[in-house]
Structure 1
Amino acid sequence: MDVNGVSAVVSGGASGLGEACARELAAKGAKVVIADLNEDKGKALADELGGVFVKTDVSDETSVAAAVQAAVDSGAPLRVIINSAGIGWATRTVGKGNVPHPLDSFQKVIQVNLVGTFNLMRLGAAAIGATEPIDGDGLRGVVINTASVAALEGQTGQVAYSASKGGIVGMTLPAARDLAAIGVRVNTICPGIIDTPIYGEGEAADAFKAKLSDPVPFPKRMGKASEFAHLAQALIENDYMNGETIRFDGGIRFQPK
């Protein structure tokens, strides 16, 4: 599918993987709605790309509906949804002193990562379904979800994060089958260790990133956000890719710690 002249909603679009996807889409001619909680970065990026910023809590139905409506109102047909908003958390199921994992933090991660992804996917796909097909196959649009290799090889302390990302992987195929009726394709990317601003800058940050990337077979480095965006764009453009979960990790396989 060609994204030139269409609109797209990118959750978590103000930074990291979402920002890279927003830039890739805009460069290809799409009108991008940056759906994010960070107003300063989100507005600045939207202005730079000629897009729209909508302050968005992905776990809130009204908030996400507003972001989707902004795309519908942009004058370009909504064809693309990219889910990249998410949070991390590290706590053992039972920690030191025999203390159980807090329930509220587990619920929060599930609510943002899993429920938030489903929330935008369902509302965005419904809006896409109201558009006219763009080809003889009946294609109307594409959803790209972001999970993690932690969904497949969760490490110590990643029970909440892995559960949330595993849920995204688990709903990929049934969602693709559900949305086939309205001509919407669904694919999920499972990134490994990606170099984003979250790691900071300077010698200490570089040393930490080098340690993280050491187990990567090849290339022996962290992935780039721009490479993630390139893969997302390829999945959008390839009309026969549907219902798939794709690892994007340089061949790494996480050990328990």
Structure 2
Amino acid sequence: MAAAAEYTIDELAQAAGTTVRSVRVYHERGVLPPPQLRGRTGYYGDEHLNRVRTISRLLDRGIKLNGIKELLAAWDRGDDLGAVLGVVEPEPAAVDELEDSTISATELQARFGDVPNGLARVVAIGVFEPVNATTYRVADPALATLFDCSAALGVPCAEGLRELERLKADCDRIARRLVDLLHRHAWESYATSNRGSDELAQLAAQVAAIRRVPGKATGDLVNRLIEREIEQDSEISEVLHKA
């Protein structure tokens, strides 16, 4: 049987995509159980990791720490709160519904009508795609959700679209650099080999890794950097720590 995972406070914060300071606040506010002490070092397990991730999701939904403490206490008692609180991962059907959702050309034009070439630009970066002359559908649910998130922050439509274009361009550059590394190293190694089944399997594994690992690592890094920037924003940070 595999040994249970153990984390120091630094490792726990990194695995959960948060900061050590936040973990300590969760301890102080009574929403995170204490670690197991061995000597002067505290060790956390997977239950702590799941709890920190749950707390982060609830904070993202606008629930304050006092409310989170009460909700998690009820959850620990066995109440079926996962679906209500959004702690359970969404079912794939929810993503399918977003991908299949449609919007009329008239509605899209009204939404982006005040933005220069707004409709053409939002289609060009891949948020929406035309179904026919009168109907569009969501082409990229992740981009659509990100745009909706900026709108919920009160960001004007023109500014939100401009930031989305910049983000897409940044992601395109990252993808091209990573695939260039793949070609210059993994492919060149395969191309100069005898191209047997073992070499092909190795190349396939390398391609699978480049498709999966960088995106998750980049997303985790961006989340940690956002957390750092929020912590360094004295006005926002001061208000949040009073919550």
> What is the TM-score normalised by the length of structure 2?
0.29
User: Higher Cα Rg: structure 1 or 2?
Assistant: 2
> What is the TM-score normalised by the length of structure 1?
0.28
Which structure has more relative contact order (CA 8 Å, sep 6+)? It is: 1
